[in-house]
Amino acid sequence: MFSHKFICGSLTKMTETGITFDPPVYEQRYCATIQIMEDARWKDQIKKVVEFGCAEMRFFQLMRRIETIEHIGLVDIDKSLLMRNLTSVNPLVSDYIRSRASPLKVQIMQGNVADSSEELRDTDAVIAIELIEHVYDDVLAKIPVNIFGFMQPKLVVFSTPNSDFNVIFTRFNPLLPNGFRHEDHKFEWSRDEFKNWCLGIVEKYPNYMFSLTGVGNPPKEYESVGHVSQIAIFVRKDMLEMQLVNPLVSNPNIDRESTPYKLLHAVEYPFYVDTRTEKEKLWTEVEMELQRFKRHFKSSEIEEDTYQDTCIMPIAVLLDRLEHVGATKELIEELLLENNLKVENECVLIVNSDEESEWSEPYEFSNRSSQDAALVDQEREEECWDQEPES
């Protein structure tokens, strides 16, 4: 097995009347899954992701922000639920103002997690958050066949309730008449049962390794019950720089008993490909800083009722502002010389005139970065996805 450590902070508080989790457990699951997907060992190789049991597509709003992902398939068997939430995956106005750096295609499909379908080919990562406990045994038996046999992804994440934790919940409220936390649960596994299921998968599909973890920490003095929600991370061995036991199956056959998926909605996000050289990008940043310095200089003149023909900006100041984009003193001086700007005593001389500079305003050179701060609050208002779902 391999290890994975979460950095999401959480707090569990139990009193005489109940138990609370901060943040809520569903948010902890989302945070943990995003961290797994962004693990440096495989992040850059995850281009296509399929989420089974996507429901209201809340997790999509986080997943879509991973810039390396270029294709997301959202699958659920409940067509009416998908139809009610189709538009939630459409780009926002802010996505057109601040485009992605890579393409993103999103497909919403009605389908069964147990069925193989053309749309699932070439998937790099599979996500199934709190899904498997909702399916009957016949479907559960086919899930590994479809995911590990047909899809053969690089990364798979399952989460499911930990029944060992129910002893804590029943201190305050009884379980439902079916004996579980939710009326639609067909089972809830203990940690040993979940581990045995995972062991069975890697025994049948030895190209994979798995690691067990979880979210929703137990209260103090009850650590023996484990997490509220347990998580299994399956990783294909070549992602861990290990030899595959068996060669990958090229173009695997679709099970004849499978029902093809039905595409309900598809959308492509706007993206911007910056074709400039690194040197051209740096010159844009230099121009922006020179303009800012010039405007500040002119405003100071107005306040002091003085006027000078030239403002002088030390190259050291310019370098300090641009080191974060890879600037060096030598490269800055080279760019200034190439663009006919005068340099004296390690300072750049900027002609101060009432006429418009030959340089454009900064936002014309950086239509991506100059909008960032203004859009953060707007996006938070428009994307109210994090309403608390069922536990």
**For residue 374, is it within any domain?**
no
**For residue 356, is it within any domain?**
no
Do 263 and 235 share a domain, yes or no?
A: yes
**For residue 319, is it within any domain?**
yes
Distances (CA, A) of 92 to 95, 138, 184, 267, 324: 5, 40, 34, 12, 30
**For residue 305, is it within any domain?**
yes
Do 151 and 291 share a domain, yes or no?
A: no
Do 233 and 337 share a domain, yes or no?
A: no
Do 325 and 176 share a domain, yes or no?
A: no
Number of domains in the chain: 2
Do 189 and 110 share a domain, yes or no?
A: yes
Token pair belonging to 247 = 């060669």
Do 102 and 132 share a domain, yes or no?
A: yes
**For residue 381, is it within any domain?**
no
Do 298 and 153 share a domain, yes or no?
A: no
Do 265 and 282 share a domain, yes or no?
A: no
Which amino acid is residue 169, in one-letter code? F
**For residue 375, is it within any domain?**
no
Token pair belonging to 390 = 């069922």
Note every long-range contact of 284-288, with CB atoms under 8 Å and residues 24 or more positions apart, other chains counting: 284/365, 284/366, 285/322, 285/325, 285/327, 285/366, 286/318, 286/322, 286/327, 286/332, 286/335, 286/336, 287/359, 287/360, 287/362, 287/365, 288/362, 288/365, 288/366
Q: Which of 29, 250, 262 is nearest to 131 (CA)?
A: 29
Torsions phi, psi of 24, nearest 5? -55, 155
**For residue 188, is it within any domain?**
yes
Identify the CATH number of the domain in which residue 85 sits. 3.40.50.150
Last residue of some domain: 269, 293, 308? 269
Each residue's pLDDT expressed in tens, for the chain with a length of 391 residues: 677 777 777 899 999 899 999 999 999 999 999 999 999 999 999 999 999 999 999 999 999 999 999 999 999 999 999 999 999 999 999 999 988 989 999 999 999 999 999 999 999 999 999 999 999 999 999 999 999 999 999 999 999 999 999 999 999 999 999 999 999 999 999 999 999 999 999 999 999 999 999 999 999 989 999 999 999 999 999 999 999 999 999 999 998 889 999 999 999 999 988 888 999 999 999 999 998 998 887 777 555 555 567 889 999 999 999 998 889 999 999 999 999 999 999 999 988 665 444 444 444 444 444 444 444 444 444 444 344 555 4
pLDDT of residue 362: 43
Do 330 and 244 share a domain, yes or no?
A: no
**For residue 2, is it within any domain?**
no
Report cis status (omega within 30 of 0) of the bond before 23.
Answer: yes
Do 89 and 146 share a domain, yes or no?
A: yes
Structural domain harbouring 331:
278-351
Do 229 and 320 share a domain, yes or no?
A: no
Do 198 and 324 share a domain, yes or no?
A: no
